[in-house]
Amino acid sequence: MIFALIVVPVLGLFVGVHRYLWCRLVRDTTTPGSRLRRTGTAAAFVLPLTTLAALPAERAGAPFPLQQALAWPGYLWLALVLYLTLALLLGEAVRAVALRALRDRDSEPNEGPAPAAPSAAPSAAPSAAAPAPAPSADPPRAPSPSSAPTLLPPHTPALPPVAVPPRRLFLARAVAAGASLAATAAVGYGTATTLRGPTVKRVTVPLAKLPRAAHGFRIAVVSDIHLGPILGRAHTRRVVETINRTDPDLVAIVGDLVDGSVTDLAPAAEPLRGLRSRYGAYFVTGNHEYYSGAAQWVDHVRELGVHPLENARVELPGFDLAGINDLAGEREQAGPDYGSALGGRDTARAVVLLAHQPVTIHETVRHGVDLQLSGHTHGGQMWPVTHLAAAANPTVAGLARYRDTQLYVTRGAGAWGPPVRVGAPPDVTVVELAATRA
pLDDT in tens, 340-351: 999 999 999 999
Which run of H or E residues covers position 204?
strand 199-207
DSSP 8-class letter at 147: T
Res. 162 pLDDT band, cuts 50 70 90: very low
HSE-up (13 A, CA, CB side) for residue 102 = 11
Determine the length of the chain. Answer: 438
* pLDDT of residue 160 exceeding 60: no
Classified as helix, coil or strand, 407 is: strand
Q: Where are the alpha helices (DSSP H) in 3-63?
A: 8-22, 35-57
Question: For the segment 381-424, what is each residue's pLDDT rounded down to a tens digit?
Answer: 999 999 999 999 999 999 999 999 999 999 999 999 999 999 99
Task: Encode burial over 36-47: b for 16+ CB neighbours within 10 A, e otherwise.
Answer: ebeebeeebeeb
Strands 427-435 and 218-222 come out as antiparallel
> In this structure, are residues 307 and 274 in contact, taking their beta carbons and an 8 Å threshold?
no
pLDDT surpassing 60 at residue 24: yes
pLDDT in tens, 120-144: 444 444 444 444 444 444 555 544 4
Query: Does residue 269 surpass a pLDDT of 90?
Result: yes
- Residue range 236-256, pLDDT digits in tens: 999 999 999 999 999 999 999
Asked if 280 and 307 touch (Cβ cutoff 8 Å), the reply is: yes
Spatial CA neighbour of 294 closest among 245, 333, 347, 320: 333
Which pLDDT does position 120 carry in this prediction? 46
